[in-house]
Structure 1
Amino acid sequence: MQVAPQAEPRRRRAGRVLLVDAAERVLLFQGSDPHRPGTRYWFTPGGGLDDGETTAQAAARELFEETGLAVPAERLGGPVHSEVTSFSFAGVAYRQEQDFYLVRVPHWSVDTSGFDEVERAWVHTHRWWSAAELRGTGEVYYPADLVEVLRGAGVGEC
């Protein structure tokens, strides 16, 4: 029996946002993969770079598209965390280099009307999480070390 060779993961750069409110809670979206619809996970706003974008520009654009919050890229400052992660979505393997930017708001009512077709289909809900809730949950969230990332960014009681 022959085994099909593994395809090289698709390389991708992304800008992500740690959106934190006055109660020191971080916004996460819950989604699933079309190839594994029963498996749900939580993740930060953000996404891949469009041609010519920096990670800050992508983070600002994605933040607006996914939450309705407009923050100019130059106001994001530098990334508070960077990592390389591997994942698959819809049967495509990715190796993603991503930068996280901290954005603080007193309060924000999330507006998902800017979601694209894939997001409308595979992002199910959102909620604000405290560090204590993240530490105590059995649910899957990314990055897996989010509590430590928030602590390193100077977020509250993490």
Structure 2
Amino acid sequence: MIEPEPHVELPDDLPVRERDVVRLVVLDANDEVLLFHTHDPTYPELGQWWELPGGGIESGETYRDAAVRELLEETGIAITVDSVGAATWSRRASFRYRGTRHLQNEVVALVRLSGLGPAVDGSQRVEFEDDDYFGFRWWPVAELISSRERFYPGRLPELLGALLAGDSVEEPFELWS
């Protein structure tokens, strides 16, 4: 995964949970990107934001295995491991979530769907995800890139073009919340 920075100062506010994570830029045939509209009911002051699907990489999984599992669980969209592109965007981020400070070593990979973006089926989500995700949207790439909405990753509009062009993106540490 990602090599840690020599020294990252985290706020001393909550217990820390560190994990490896895969995030997915799911792009449909109309060049629209799937994002969840979400919030953390524990921290209403954070407001609402749009985020990429994805989640933790479990022991023994590759990022591609985790991508397939997470996308199915969160959206009902079934893909194969071969559908998951190279993890060309790497990042390290921290945020507050449900009483814990998460420190995440993340990779972001591209998944291209051959058809139009389907409706999201969240029936396989874990309980807290149903509390957090209250909507989804297939965003046209140009609209996402120019949007002033709040996103996770925070620099998604700025860095999406490089990912779609096949460039490597090594994002500096992001203290998101």
TM-score, normalisation: structure 2: 0.77
Structure 1 unaligned residues grouped into runs of 5+: none
Alignment length, in residue pairs?
151
Deviations 1:73-102 (A, max 9, x none): 243132131111111101200110111111
Counterpart among 128, 146, 155 of residue 145 in structure 1: 155
Matched, 1:124 2:134: yes
CA distance in 1, matches of 2:133, 2:51: 10
Counterpart among 6, 19, 24 of residue 26 in structure 2: 19
CA distance in 1, matches of 2:16, 2:124: 28
Percent of aligned pairs sharing the same letter? 37
Counterpart of 2:81 in structure 1 is 73
RMSD: 1.9
Counterpart among 37, 41, 44 of residue 30 in structure 1: 37
**How much has 1:40 moved relative to structure 2?**
0.9
**Which one is further off, 21-30 or 132-141?**
132-141
Retained in 2: the 8 A contact 1:34–1:89?
A: no
Matched, 1:88 2:96: yes
Q: How does 1:108-119 map to 2 (within 5 A)?
A: 108-109=117-118, 110-119=120-129
Retained in 2: the 8 A contact 1:15–1:57?
A: no
Q: How does 1:28-67 map to 2 (within 5 A)?
A: 28-37=35-44, 39-67=47-75
Retained in 2: the 8 A contact 1:25–1:130?
A: yes
Counterpart of 2:6 in structure 1 is none
**Which one is further off, 67-76 or 97-106?**
67-76
Q: Which amino acid aligns with 2:124?
A: G
CA distance in 2, matches of 1:115, 1:137: 28
**How much has 1:136 moved relative to structure 2?**
4.0
Structure 2 unaligned residues grouped into runs of 5+: 1-11, 166-177
The verdict on how the C-alpha distance between 1:121 and 1:152 changes in structure 2, with shifts beyond 3 A counting, is same
**How much has 1:72 moved relative to structure 2?**
2.0
SS at match of 1:144: coil
**How much has 1:17 moved relative to structure 2?**
0.8
**Which one is further off, 128-137 or 105-114?**
128-137
